[in-house]
Amino acid sequence: MRPILTTLILALVAPVASPEDADVPSFARAVPEFRSGEPIFRFNGRDLAGFYAYTRGHGYEDPLNVFTVRDGMIRASGEEFGGLATGGNFSDYHLVVEWKWGEQTWGSRAKAARDSGILLHCTGPDGAAGGQWMESIECQIIEGGTGDLLLVGGKGKPRLTCEARTGADGQPYFEKGAPAVARDRGRINWWGRDPSWRDSLGFRGKRDVERPSGEWNRTEVICDGGRVVVLVNGLLVNEGTDASPAAGKIQFQSEGAEIFFRKIEVRPLIRP
């Protein structure tokens, strides 16, 4: 059977903000076009088939039910730091994730910004990063910073090159056409991250494209060789090249805040 193709275009998801009310740069609306096929991996809406859990406190056991399925959604409670990983490795794919925040927060992050993330190209042993995650390139999900790209070191150091301007705070912010910056640690902020960001519960920046807590968001990641493109609610928020590694597992974080996932799909890229 010929694969059904999906083309990424601006109409795929209606952007959450307009240029007038969020000062969206033109490059953020110039979403690259890719073609992808039918999912080769997806959350089935019933159970965690195809995934496995790993937490800092209990390894491959999950007695606290950090990762469960309810009402057709994966719930990551946030109670323990850890991740829900795919059993297989992926390269050259289009990842589609629909998610929303829950209300529960825990421990040292009970009053901090709700935090999670999608770890791409995970390699090496489980728990090598901080005792709970894998070495990877993180597509951040955090209030005010959704779309940041982080280099999560394990036994090695993942690498990524991004076009980025240097903000007044000295941090790199993704900007198309800016000088390329190669990193093997730290974070490349999405273009609209508020420089006055605070690690406080419910934080929202002036230019945030993430929807308010409790509403559904759509994060898409296109991994094409060493290229990593991140879309949030239909807008291009970050992009990197020369990713190393460029393949691996995909892991969804539990990091002190309840989060729900109703769709997780991995679609193969279709070459011209």
The predicted pLDDT at position 125 comes to 97
Which of 225-242 are b and which e, b meaning 16 or more Cβ less than 10 Å from the residue's Cβ? ebbbbbbbbbbbbbbbbe
The predicted pLDDT at position 22 comes to 55
Query: Which pLDDT tens digit goes with each residue over 40-78?
Result: 999 999 999 999 999 999 999 999 999 999 999 999 999
Instruction: Say if residue 194's pLDDT is above 50.
Output: yes
- Averaged pLDDT for residues 227-256: 98
- Averaged pLDDT for residues 190-199: 97
Query: Which pLDDT tens digit goes with each residue over 111-154?
Result: 999 999 999 999 999 999 999 999 999 999 999 999 999 999 99
| Mean pLDDT of the chain, nearest integer | 93
What domains lie within the chain, and their CATH numbers? 6-11+21-268 (2.60.120.560)
- Averaged pLDDT for residues 151-179: 97
Instruction: Say if residue 234's pLDDT is above 90.
Output: yes
- Averaged pLDDT for residues 246-254: 98
The predicted pLDDT at position 8 comes to 45
The predicted pLDDT at position 18 comes to 44
Instruction: Say if residue 38's pLDDT is above 90.
Output: yes
- Averaged pLDDT for residues 233-249: 98
Instruction: Say if residue 9's pLDDT is above 50.
Output: no
The predicted pLDDT at position 23 comes to 86
- Averaged pLDDT for residues 29-34: 94
